[in-house]
A and B are shown apart, each in its own frame.
Chain A
Amino acid sequence: MYAFDYHRPATVRQAAGLLAKKEDAKLLAGGQTLLPTMKQRLAAPPHLIDLSRVDDLKGIAVKGRSLVIGAMSTHYEVTTSAIVGEAIPGLAALAGLIGDPAVRHKGTIGGSVANNDPSADYPAALLAMGATVITNKRKIPADEYFQGLFTTALEDGEIITKVSFPIPGKFGYAKFRHPASRYALVGVAVAKRGSDIRVTVTGAGADGVFRWAAAEAALKARFAVKSLDGLEHGPEGINGDIHGSPEYRGHLIGVMAKRAVASALGK
């Protein structure tokens, strides 16, 4: 790790001020992605702005017909939150599948969404439910927010403050864990809100999280596991590595989609 200056603001405003003033400054949330990269000397921010004392970034609440989660909510807080469990139980379950206990106690939804790792779990949920990423500057719909591997609509100096999920009628997530890292080798989220049905895939896309239109169409006819029988994604546009070829990942998309629907239906 290279030397850096450490800042610990108390408000979003102060954090934004530091971010604007300090050249090449980086926000520090749970540090589960940023710190390992710094330790390996792959990142060398001269300034770290620690968000852990910014109270405005905390808290989980239902506001109208949406579930709003503060950016600094840890995966552990989300998975154990009674509010999340009541509003979108599948989202609580998803957070409980992230990493291991140490990672869940430190890592945050804001950090995960900002990072947009192509194998991360949250992006599938945000895109499936049509969530909104709320920053200190604006509101960004998930459809516009995720822009490919580690790429988002966030601009310089922008801080995620909250993520707002319109509460769906049904939501389910099925994850096939990467054998070694336990990120998603393939993760499929399914959300149904009225007649709007979305099926999203993380871990597999060569260009990050994406919607699987064929599955969405099949489920529109009838929201049932059987509707996906025989539907395969195939290897096109799917990434491969030693743990999963595009063929294997493509196949798992179909399997995980069925399991996600079953989970959404409480089966």
Chain B
Amino acid sequence: MSVAQIGQSVRRTEDQRFVTGKGRYVDDIGRPGQAHAFFLRSPHAHARIRRIDLHEAQHAPGVVAVLTGDDLAADKIGGLICGWMIHSKDGSPMKAGPHPALAQGKVRYVGDHVAVVIAETLAEAKDAAEKIVVDYEVLPAAVDPAKTQAKGAAQVHDEAPNNTVFNWHLGDKAATDAAFAKASHVTTIDLVNNRLVANAMEPRAAVGDYDSGTDNFTLYTTSQNPHVARLVLSAFIGIAPENKLRVIAPDVGGGFGSKIFIYAEETVCVWAAKKVGRPVKWVAERTEEFLASAHGRDHVTKAELATDAAGKILGLRVHTKANLGAYLSTFSSSVPTYLYAPLLSGQYDIPAIYAEVDGVYTNTAPVDAYRGAGRPEATFVVERLMEVTARQIGMDPAAFRQRNFVRSFPHQTPVIMCYDIGDYNASLKKALELADYKGLGRRKRESARKGLLRGLGFSAYIEACGIAPSAAVGSLGAGVGLWESAEVRVNPVGTVEILTGSHAHGQGHETTFAQLVSARLGIPMEQVSIIHGDTDKVQMGMGTYGSRSGAVGMSAIVKALDKVEAKAKKVAAYCLEASESDIEFKDGRFTVKGTDKGLSFGEVALQAYVAHKFDGQELEPGLKEGAFYDPKNFTFPSGVHIAEVEIDPETGVTRVDRWTAVDDFGVLINPLIVEGQVHGGIAQGIGQAMMEGAVYDQSGQLVTASYMDYRMPRAEDFPLYQIATTSTPCPSNPLGIKGCGEAGAIASPPALINAITDALGHEDIAMPATPQAVWKAAQKTVHKLAAE
């Protein structure tokens, strides 16, 4: 392998290990003397626990211990936390009920943790769990987010009257109402953003280990942010002080947000390891993933857009009920508030916006961030409003968007965000061309001849990534800072280890990060190792989510590399007997300006460690530097996706025929990996729009608790995408990058629903637009066509 360049499509080096089964996941970890945990889960959506009889289970073969919420309380282990404080519009702090890792007195959703059985084998743990007798007083359940605040609905937590956690708002209500008052047209839509299950390929897992000799705990866990897990488990839950708790997140097989959070199971495993004096392992079964990993989305929204006679947008007004589930998961409160409403300006110059959000409890699994987190929900609102408005006022949907694009930067929106740069029209123009927008009429006629309905839909999305400036999020209620750390360790022979606080769980950091370092230091990629996911190795970090590993994580590496270069120049100056200001570093060589004297990067590294050529009192030996990088601003990736579908009205089957994506991610380090991220994102977005949906019945049972009923996207569901990029380099970070991990999932649902509604000729369809739903909706179309 040679020296890599920025912008080169280097193949992912980690894939060799992943595709040959050499990855090392939590389930691959076994500790000597390890016992196995099985969680007894609630079969009821809502019930009071009158009594738990553990006697028979405790005496079952192989059982090490059976523990309940009482044991947690006795050990003074705290509950799980929500790390973002939201204030309601009346100024009061959000109203949250307690969230014990094992139920204390009540269960609040199907899958809630009642007790844990720890046994020699998993089978014995399961056998024993069947012997636990729980006397439940079953209570009525509140399941529907649209009805949970109503009088007479079951109360999930006494602390939150009417199941309302917060009634939050953003924007200027008076200005927005005034804008609506003078509008020549108002578009009103009702939307449901369907509830999703993350479905990472690797289910969650944890191994807790305790060393009584040193009083040290180790937790191996499927985490996207092991340092945050350590912080929460130490400072809030009270497992052990940070210096006594090591958290390791080894290879992790996908997360999509669901592995950001600190969960009951990992808490119990690490706590129980000390209590029972044995390492304790738990691996979720797929059903447990469905029942008890945080779900995503689940909004019910009424949205309105006001326009003037010329098709200029005057204002936007939104009221959303966001289902938070039965407990507040780690970042749940931030998702439908600060990750949502600040994106409601889209790519458009909107003078007035007002958003009101009710965060509500229901007797369902906790809901938290899922790929895009808040931003797909905002984009769905904005881009559905744009398309429907264009149709209602009789404007071409592309032209309507063009008329309202933000065109000068920086642009301050009425909802917090200040867009630093972009060229929205460039993406739209390129997308129109690639999608052969002009040929749509002909394609529609061809489909009609076959008895099929064809439609095209746009989505011009924006997202806020590179999360996030610490002081800014702190002022909005975040409990943490959202910088990132990096350490560059140059070895005496010139190989390099990069320690990063980012965490890779499918994103290809080992390639992209090494590529960056290779290009910068002029050394081959294989001389660079990327180390992450271990709190004993990487001192502190904030992890990976919100498309932040490039814009924030790599910027931290750049900052540390700057320091390494500066130090190496000093060493080189001594060795080459030149002044430091005359040393130049290029293509892996330190040279003296205007001469052919020089040293390679490796030679300088060796000199830094042998320290023979300089005075150790004047210059410290060694070559190792660290940096913390706090971003100046969010980054604002944007782009235009165009979906084209063909519907068979006889069956409701919708075929995605064409997909065009033109994204502006700023500078691309590795276009191949970026394209992969876009592919996966679009697949998930199409999944949300047409296939996926977590459905609870009225009693709170999860109907879609397995792949027999939860419809995952498959390769055959997708066309070959046409993917292109435009680029306005991001001015807010040293690399000019914006982030690409969530874009596809954010952009695609409205594009698809806009295409389907275009084909149908009416707006009456919700996500997921399954064959059944489309068939029903198409009946109306067929009748309309027949009447015409």
- Contact residues of A with B, CB < 8 Å? 1-3, 40-41, 176, 179-181, 241-245, 248, 251-252, 255
Instruction: Give the residue name and chain of the A residue nearest to B695 (CB).
Output: A242
Q: Is the CB–CB distance between A181 and B651 below 8 Å?
A: no
Chief secondary structure at chain B's binding surface = loop
B28-50 CB contact bits vs A (8 Å, 1 = yes)? 00000000000000000000000
Known A1-B123, A179-B691, A179-B770: A242·B776 in contact at CB below 8 Å: no
Q: Is the CB–CB distance between B123 and A243 below 8 Å?
A: no
Query: A40–B708 Cα gap in the complex (Å)?
Result: 14
B405 at the interface (CB under 8 A from A): no
Pick the 4 closest A-B CB pairs, nearest first: A180-B711, A179-B711, A181-B708, A248-B772
Query: A252–B776 Cα gap in the complex (Å)?
Result: 12
Q: How far is the CB of B338 from chain A (nearest CB, A)?
A: 33
Q: Is the CB–CB distance between A255 and B650 below 8 Å?
A: yes
Known A242-B695, A242-B703, A255-B650: A179·B708 in contact at CB below 8 Å: no
Interface residues of B in 737-788 (CB under 8 A from A): 770-772, 775-776
Q: Is the CB–CB distance between A242 and B651 below 8 Å?
A: no
Q: Is the CB–CB distance between B703 and A252 below 8 Å?
A: no
B707 at the interface (CB under 8 A from A): yes
Residues of A within 8 A of B704 (CB): 180, 242
Q: Which of B651, B709, B770 contacts A176 (CB 8 A)?
A: B651
Q: Is the CB–CB distance between B709 and A181 below 8 Å?
A: yes
Q: Is the CB–CB distance between A251 and B775 below 8 Å?
A: yes
Residues of A within 8 A of B25 (CB): none
B651, B707, B771, B772 interface centre (most CB from chain A within 10 Å): B772
Instruction: Give the residue name and chain of the B residue nearest to A256 (CB).
Output: B651
B710 at the interface (CB under 8 A from A): yes
Residues of B within 8 A of A244 (CB): 772
Residues of B within 8 A of A40 (CB): 287
Q: How far is the CB of A234 from chain B (nearest CB, A)?
A: 15
Q: How far is the CB of B133 from chain A (nearest CB, A)?
A: 17
Q: Which of B126, B651, B708, B710 contacts A252 (CB 8 A)?
A: B651
Query: A180–B703 Cα gap in the complex (Å)?
Result: 12
Q: Which of A176, A180, A248 contacts B776 (CB 8 A)?
A: A248
Query: A1–B707 Cα gap in the complex (Å)?
Result: 20
Residues of B within 8 A of A179 (CB): 691, 711, 770-771
Q: Is the CB–CB distance between B126 and A245 below 8 Å?
A: no
Given contacts A243-B709, A244-B772, A252-B651, 8 further A-B contacts (CB under 8 A): A176-B771, A179-B770, A179-B771, A180-B704, A180-B711, A243-B711, A248-B772, A255-B651
Q: Which of B126, B652, B711 contacts A41 (CB 8 A)?
A: B126
Instruction: Give the residue name and chain of the A residue nearest to B650 (CB).
Output: A255
Residues of B within 8 A of A180 (CB): 704, 707-712
Residues of B within 8 A of A245 (CB): 772
Query: A255–B287 Cα gap in the complex (Å)?
Result: 35
Residues of B within 8 A of A255 (CB): 650-651
Residues of B within 8 A of A241 (CB): 709
Q: Is the CB–CB distance between A243 and B650 below 8 Å?
A: no
Instruction: Give the residue name and chain of the B residue nearest to A181 (CB).
Output: B708
Query: A241–B709 Cα gap in the complex (Å)?
Result: 10
Q: Which of A41, A181, A242, A248 contacts B775 (CB 8 A)?
A: A248
Query: A83–B709 Cα gap in the complex (Å)?
Result: 36
* 6 sample A-B contacts, Cβ–Cβ < 8 Å, listed by A number: A2-B127, A179-B770, A179-B771, A248-B776, A251-B775, A252-B651
Residues of B within 8 A of A243 (CB): 709, 711, 770, 772
Residues of A within 8 A of B707 (CB): 180-181
Q: How far is the CB of A183 from chain B (nearest CB, A)?
A: 8
Q: How far is the CB of B720 from chain A (nearest CB, A)?
A: 22
Residues of B within 8 A of A181 (CB): 707-709
Residues of B within 8 A of A251 (CB): 775
Query: A180–B707 Cα gap in the complex (Å)?
Result: 6
Instruction: Give the residue name and chain of the A residue nearest to B126 (CB).
Output: A41
Query: A243–B708 Cα gap in the complex (Å)?
Result: 11
Q: How far is the CB of B128 from chain A (nearest CB, A)?
A: 13
Query: A1–B772 Cα gap in the complex (Å)?
Result: 36
Query: A245–B695 Cα gap in the complex (Å)?
Result: 15
Residues of B within 8 A of A41 (CB): 126
Query: A138–B709 Cα gap in the complex (Å)?
Result: 38
Instruction: Give the residue name and chain of the B residue nearest to A3 (CB).
Output: B123
Query: A118–B706 Cα gap in the complex (Å)?
Result: 19
Query: A104–B703 Cα gap in the complex (Å)?
Result: 27
B443-486 CB contact bits vs A (8 Å, 1 = yes)? 00000000000000000000000000000000000000000000
Q: How far is the CB of B695 from chain A (nearest CB, A)?
A: 6
Residues of A within 8 A of B771 (CB): 176, 179
Residues of A within 8 A of B770 (CB): 179, 243
Residues of A within 8 A of B691 (CB): 179
Q: How far is the CB of A260 from chain B (nearest CB, A)?
A: 14
Residues of A within 8 A of B287 (CB): 40
Interface residues of B in 642-698 (CB under 8 A from A): 650-652, 691, 695
Instruction: Give the residue name and chain of the B residue nearest to A254 (CB).
Output: B650
Residues of A within 8 A of B703 (CB): 242
Interface residues of B in 419-463 (CB under 8 A from A): none
Instruction: Give the residue name and chain of the A residue nearest to B707 (CB).
Output: A180
Q: How far is the CB of A176 from chain B (nearest CB, A)?
A: 7
Q: How far is the CB of A188 from chain B (nearest CB, A)?
A: 13
Q: How far is the CB of B627 from chain A (nearest CB, A)?
A: 47
B108-138 CB contact bits vs A (8 Å, 1 = yes)? 0000000000000001001100000000000
Q: Is the CB–CB distance between A242 and B123 below 8 Å?
A: no
Instruction: Give the residue name and chain of the A residue nearest to B703 (CB).
Output: A242
Q: How far is the CB of A135 from chain B (nearest CB, A)?
A: 30
Instruction: Give the residue name and chain of the A residue nearest to B690 (CB).
Output: A179
Query: A242–B771 Cα gap in the complex (Å)?
Result: 11
Residues of A within 8 A of B708 (CB): 180-181
Instruction: Give the residue name and chain of the A residue nearest to B775 (CB).
Output: A248
Q: Is the CB–CB distance between B709 and A242 below 8 Å?
A: yes
Query: A255–B772 Cα gap in the complex (Å)?
Result: 14
Query: A146–B711 Cα gap in the complex (Å)?
Result: 29
A180, A181, A241 interface centre (most CB from chain B within 10 Å): A180
Query: A251–B651 Cα gap in the complex (Å)?
Result: 8
Instruction: Give the residue name and chain of the A residue nearest to B772 (CB).
Output: A248
Q: How far is the CB of B707 from chain A (nearest CB, A)?
A: 6
Query: A242–B709 Cα gap in the complex (Å)?
Result: 8
Query: A41–B650 Cα gap in the complex (Å)?
Result: 41
Query: A137–B359 Cα gap in the complex (Å)?
Result: 64
Residues of A within 8 A of B712 (CB): 180
Query: A243–B771 Cα gap in the complex (Å)?
Result: 8
